[in-house]
């Protein structure tokens, strides 16, 4: 009899234990999602954290975007960092997973993503519309599969001789090119270290690199009835001692004209000029033809810092702060400020710190949406990020 009651008690206890386990699982287990995204999230790796310095805290790493899923069709790829979902700041992979799990079929979510390895510091927003279920043939252990939050402790390694791998590992530390002031007489400008003044007059400033063929020139003169094309050809041949060939003129804003050129000594570059009241003002960048890819943006940006004393004009709204002088930002602009609209093509801009040091940046890439002192340009100095302000100081 005792054995019978003992068996009943054991059966009841086992049933209660199974029921308790089922209740606990129902409470703690993640609910089955109402929609399918194809996303999986993970905690930020050290490498991912390093390449998102603009995030004060939080973020979730996209570890997977299933092929043919809404995430893949939206362009979300593994390795990107999710900073926000529908405007809600993401602080962890688990939070990202919970937010996405709440999505229903047909519902549209907006993801704020960073992918610094592509060179863009600004975040991008991507819209994703949930499906009801995974594509046919895509089976997962939960149907439809829920988003996952994983811990990924692996640290990115640096591939031998691969410049991109160091960028991934160290992150998007902005290293603007420092520019030092050069000048003589009424003219001045800025150039990288070891550049020097090659020649100057009251209406001309010519600077050049200490080594190699790299020249930046600002020059103005009366045409005295000469054709601008003939004047430019003569000036180039006289300056560099070789016959020059110019491309057809290209119109630029504010009545400026752009022409690329080359000569028989292997030199190449561009001339940006404007003619007003029979007087020509030009900015010239010259380099070896083999160096045009990197040389044109850098040397061109140097050339466009060069200025000589000139009457001032009101600032036009089309003049970007990263291309003009502080004087122009306040409303008193010179020809060099108007010529610098070409910086948008060169993808360069001028910034400075509160100490008056000037730097060259790429405004499209080096702008931080979120920094210690708000959106803007920063660079690392002394282990901290220093705020940089738009505009050149000469």
Say which CATH number the domain at 182 has: 3.40.1000.10
131 and 181 fall within a common domain? no
Alpha-carbon distance 323 to 340, whole Å? 6
Alpha-carbon distance 373 to 364, whole Å? 19
Among 113, 111, 121, CA closest to 51: 121
Containing domain of residue 149, as a range?
Answer: 39-161
Per-residue pLDDT at 9:
63
102 in a domain, yes or no? yes
Question: Do the Cβ atoms of 51 and 117 come closer than 8 Å?
Answer: yes
192 and 138 fall within a common domain? no
Per-residue pLDDT at 349:
92
* CA–CA distances in Å: residue 143 to residues 14, 102, 140: 30, 15, 6
Q: CATH number for the domain including 111?
A: 2.30.42.10
- Chain position carrying tokens 């100057």: 200
86 and 115 fall within a common domain? yes
Alpha-carbon distance 133 to 38, whole Å? 9
Query: Parallel, antiparallel, or unpaired for β 358-361 and 349-352?
Result: antiparallel
Q: Which of 126, 161, 196 is the last residue of a domain?
A: 161
CA 48 centroid distance within chain: 17
Helices (H), the chain: 2-28, 46-50, 70-73, 93-101, 163-170, 228-240, 292-303, 326-329, 335-339, 343-346
263 and 208 fall within a common domain? yes
328 and 203 fall within a common domain? yes
Residue 241: CB atoms within 10 A of its CB come to 11
Question: Do the Cβ atoms of 326 and 391 come closer than 8 Å?
Answer: yes
204 and 333 fall within a common domain? yes
293 in a domain, yes or no? yes
Per-residue pLDDT at 63:
84
309 in a domain, yes or no? yes
Number of domains within the chain: 2
CA 94 centroid distance within chain: 29
51 and 78 fall within a common domain? yes
Tokens of 5: 């009651």
Q: Which of 161, 195, 215 is the last residue of a domain?
A: 161
296 in a domain, yes or no? yes
143 and 185 fall within a common domain? no
343 in a domain, yes or no? yes
Alpha-carbon distance 184 to 357, whole Å? 19
Alpha-carbon distance 255 to 59, whole Å? 47
199 and 311 fall within a common domain? yes
Per-residue pLDDT at 226:
87
312 in a domain, yes or no? yes
Could you tell me the pTM of the whole model? 0.60
93 and 130 fall within a common domain? yes
81 in a domain, yes or no? yes
155 and 186 fall within a common domain? no
Per-residue pLDDT at 118:
53
335 and 360 fall within a common domain? yes
Ordered per-residue pLDDT tens for the chain, 394 residues: 445 666 666 666 666 666 666 655 554 454 555 678 888 888 877 666 656 655 666 788 888 888 888 888 888 888 888 888 998 888 888 888 888 888 888 889 999 887 655 544 567 888 988 887 777 655 544 444 445 554 444 444 444 444 444 444 444 456 788 889 987 778 899 999 899 998 878 889 999 998 888 999 999 999 988 899 999 999 999 998 888 888 999 999 999 999 998 888 888 899 999 998 889 999 999 988 888 888 899 999 999 999 987 778 888 888 888 999 999 988 889 999 999 999 989 999 999 988 889 999 888 878 876 666 777 888 876 657 788 889 998 8
Per-residue pLDDT at 163:
43
3-state helix, strand, coil in the chain (%, to 5): 25, 30, 40
49 in a domain, yes or no? yes
Helices and strands (H, E) in the chain, number of each type: 10, 22
């Amino acid at each position: 009899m005792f054995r019978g009651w003992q068996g009943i008690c054991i059966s009841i206890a086992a049933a209660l234990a199974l029921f308790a386990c089922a209740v606990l699982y129902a409470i703690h287990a993640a609910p089955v999602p109402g929609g399918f995204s194809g996303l999986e999230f993970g905690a930020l790796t050290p490498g991912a954290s390093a390449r998102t310095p603009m995030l004060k805290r939080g973020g979730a790493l996209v570890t997977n975007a299933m092929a043919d899923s809404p995430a893949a069709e939206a362009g979300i790829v593994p390795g990107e960092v999710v900073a926000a979902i529908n405007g809600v700041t993401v602080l962890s992979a688990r939070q990202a997973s919970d937010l996405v799990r709440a999505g229903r079929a047909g519902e549209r979510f907006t993801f704020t993503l960073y992918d610094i390895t592509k060179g863009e510091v600004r975040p991008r927003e991507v819209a994703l519309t949930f499906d009801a279920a995974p594509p046919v043939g895509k089976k997962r252990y939960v149907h439809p599969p829920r988003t996952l939050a994983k811990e990924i402790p692996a640290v990115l390694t640096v591939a031998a001789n691969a410049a991109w791998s160091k960028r991934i590992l160290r992150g998007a530390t902005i290293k603007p090119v420092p520019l030092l002031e050069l000048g003589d007489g009424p003219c001045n400008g800025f150039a990288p270290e070891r550049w020097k003044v090659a020649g100057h007059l009251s209406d001309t400033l010519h600077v050049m690199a200490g080594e190699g063929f790299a020249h930046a020139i600002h020059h103005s003169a009366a045409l005295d009835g000469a054709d601008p094309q003939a004047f430019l050809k003569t000036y180039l041949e006289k300056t560099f001692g070789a016959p020059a060939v110019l491309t057809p003129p290209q119109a630029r804003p504010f009545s400026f004209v752009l022409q690329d050129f080359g000569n028989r000594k292997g030199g190449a570059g561009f001339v940006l000029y404007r003619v007003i009241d029979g007087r020509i003002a030009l900015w010239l960048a010259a380099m070896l033809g083999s160096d045009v890819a990197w040389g044109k943006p850098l040397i061109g940006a140097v050339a466009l810092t060069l200025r000589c004393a000139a009457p001032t004009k009101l600032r036009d709204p089309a003049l970007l702060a990263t291309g003009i002088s502080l004087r122009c930002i306040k409303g008193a602009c010179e020809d060099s400020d108007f010529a610098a609209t070409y910086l948008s093509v060169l993808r360069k801009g001028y910034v400075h710190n509160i100490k008056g040091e000037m730097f060259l940046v790429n405004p499209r890439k080096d702008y931080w949406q979120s920094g210690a002192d708000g959106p803007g340009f920063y660079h690392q100095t002394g282990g901290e990020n220093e705020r940089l302000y738009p505009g050149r100081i000469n």
